[in-house]
Amino acid sequence: MAPDISSYPIGLCAFFVFATALTVNGRWLTWLIYSLGLSVLILTSRITWSVLLKRVAIESSFVGGILLGTLFRGGGSTLWQWGWLRITTEGLMVLGSVTSKTLLCLMMLNLLVLTTSIPALLHALKTLRMPSLLIAIIASMYRYIAVLLEEFDTMRRAAVSRNLMSNPRGQRLVIGNMIGALFIRTYERGDRIYQAMLSRGYTGVPPLDEIPPNSKIDRWALVSTLLLLLLGQAVYLQ
């Protein structure tokens, strides 16, 4: 059976992310070529830069500490030192390399999510032989994360209205109890929902109304991405 068209964007994204992450540190020209190709994809997708960069900025804050830690790596010439802290040329090179990889990978992944619907992504993961249990977990998380947040907010407002959040110590205790109660409710509700979904023909992924046919444009996009990745690596072969 021919692969689903929705598997092409994931395949393209996977090739790009793996090629970028596995590139040796210090290959700036390679990342420049990758960034130019990624810019063409962003312009073609008509995604606004402000939306994309806002998402990347939020996600980068979670890995900012790890990126900063690479700055103090030993090796090379010492540029600045204060006690046991020192900045070296090797640390700057590693920091720049890891930051470049991180930004390129995050931008590519966010571009995939912004241009492809969640049901199509889940069907593509199923086509690519991803375990059905992981697909079901992702689908359930996407579907019910808003419900859990709303229920937690309701519990928090109920605690505030009863003056249970007045001091920091009591606030930590109340939040801990709220998380425990929410976990129990989630487990019970999840079991009921799962049984109800099975009785209605649930197969592990949300239904997709229409699956577009395969087209030459998607194949050309995948081939062009592979050629771009090979070009980025080939510039250092000589």
Write out the residue range of the structural domain in which residue 134 sits: 118-207
Choose from 2-11, 37-46, 76-85, 86-95 the range with maximum mean pLDDT.
37-46
Comparing 238 with 165, the larger pLDDT belongs to 165
Domain co-membership, 111 together with 150? no
Domain co-membership, 58 together with 133? no
What type of residue is 210?
E
Domain co-membership, 107 together with 222? yes
Helix H or strand E segment including 193: helix 168-199
Domain co-membership, 198 together with 165? yes
pTM tops 0.75 = no
Q: Are 212 and 8 in contact (CB under 8 A)?
A: no
Domain co-membership, 42 together with 81? yes
pLDDT value at residue 228? 87
Domain co-membership, 75 together with 133? no
pLDDT per residue over 110-129, tens digit each?
Answer: 988 888 877 778 777 777 77
Cα–Cα distance list, 18 to 14, 15, 102 (Å)? 6, 5, 11
Distance CA 218, CA 174 (A): 52
User: Is the pLDDT score of 217 beyond 70?
Assistant: yes
The total number of structural domains that make up the chain? 2
pLDDT value at residue 114? 87
User: Is the pLDDT score of 5 beyond 60?
Assistant: no
Domain co-membership, 62 together with 160? no
Mean pLDDT confidence for 58-78: 73
Domain co-membership, 193 together with 216? no
Domain co-membership, 126 together with 194? yes
pLDDT value at residue 128? 76
Domain co-membership, 22 together with 139? no
Mean pLDDT confidence for 28-36: 90
Name the DSSP class of 87.
E
Domain co-membership, 9 together with 107? yes
Domain co-membership, 110 together with 228? yes
Q: Are 12 and 116 in contact (CB under 8 A)?
A: no
Q: What is the number of residues in the chain?
A: 238
The neighbour count for residue 226, using CB atoms within 10 Å, is 15
Name the DSSP class of 71.
G
pLDDT per residue over 133-173, tens digit each?
Answer: 787 778 777 777 777 888 888 888 888 888 777 777 777 78
User: Is the pLDDT score of 4 beyond 60?
Assistant: no
